[in-house]
Amino acid sequence: MPRSEARVTTDRPHRYAKQLASHLGRRIEASWDEEAGRGELAFATGTGTLTAEPGALLLAVEGDAASLPVLEDVVGRHLVRFGAKDELVVEWHRDTGEPGLVHRGEGEQD
């Protein structure tokens, strides 16, 4: 199954991961384990993981080729909105070699 990953530099990876899991959990199955620093997202068309590391939040999504851009968009767009004050940038890298989406503050997307 195609996979896409993003490494988001931030001083608050746990906070953003918890907020993202909580927000998305209103519509999908989502979990966050504060002790492990890891979360899971279960979309209808794929899955996602959130991993907090010192200085960065690691994001990964998996789904079929048609769903991958949608998963990148949902996770990246929400995270950038939450982190607008910190000017977070989410740049996805697909394992297929195709370029992934890039999300920046102010709702910009490449």
Q: What is the pTM of this model?
A: 0.94
Q: What is the pLDDT of residue 105?
A: 76
Q: Domains of the chain (ranges plus CATH)?
A: 3-100 (3.30.310.50)
Query: How far apart (Å, rounded) are the C-alpha atoms in residues 27 and 85?
Result: 25
- Identify the pLDDT of residue 10: 97
Cα separation, 59 vs 39, whole angstroms? 10
Stretch 6-33: mean pLDDT, rounded? 97
- Nearest Cα neighbor of 4 from 100, 79, 102, 70 is 100
